[in-house]
Amino acid sequence: QVRLVESGGGSVQEGGSLRLICAASGNIYRKYCMGWFRQAPGKERERVALTDSNGSKTYADSVKGRFTASQDIAQNILSLQLNSLKPEDTATYYCAVDVFPCWGGAAAGYAVPSGDWGQGTQVTVSS
């Protein structure tokens, strides 16, 4: 099991930036996928960014061009750079790791709550 701890959330104005960090204890390199998810009040959790074992990244359409996921496997750190933030980006952000098929895979909308998850960090964007 991998323990994940997020940090870096906060409150910013529209157009601002934040960098979320996820520190992992355990061997995340053994996991197949690393992901960032978010959940806003009253809404279902959604995938924001996903990185597979080959380093290929996919992003939700709503954040493409604004968010960038990266990872330092040697340091067991995942990060998510959030730029050009919008009020609709307000949510609790979670990092997670999982093995194939990674939260149920694309067919399941990556909605299966499998793998290991952090406790979340709040991002609030005001207009």
Question: What local confidence, expressed as pLDDT, does residue 75 receive?
Answer: 85
Question: What local confidence, expressed as pLDDT, does residue 26 receive?
Answer: 77
> What does residue 75 show for φ and ψ, rounded to 5 degrees?
-95, 0
- Measured distance CA(36)–CA(80) in Å, rounded: 8
Question: What local confidence, expressed as pLDDT, does residue 74 receive?
Answer: 81
Q: Let me know: does 103 contact 95? Beta carbons within 8 Å.
A: no
Neighbour count for residue 21 (Cβ, 10 Å): 15
Question: What local confidence, expressed as pLDDT, does residue 69 receive?
Answer: 96
- Measured distance CA(40)–CA(26) in Å, rounded: 29
Question: What local confidence, expressed as pLDDT, does residue 31 receive?
Answer: 67
The string of DSSP codes covering 7-57 is E--EEEETT--EEEEEEEES-GGGSSEEEEEEE-TTS--EEEEEE-TT--E
Give me the tens of pLDDT residue by residue for the chain, a chain 127 residues long. Answer: 889 999 999 999 999 999 999 999 977 766 679 999 999 999 999 999 999 878 889 999 999 999 999 988 888 899 999 999 999 999 999 999 998 889 998 899 899 999 999 999 999 999 9
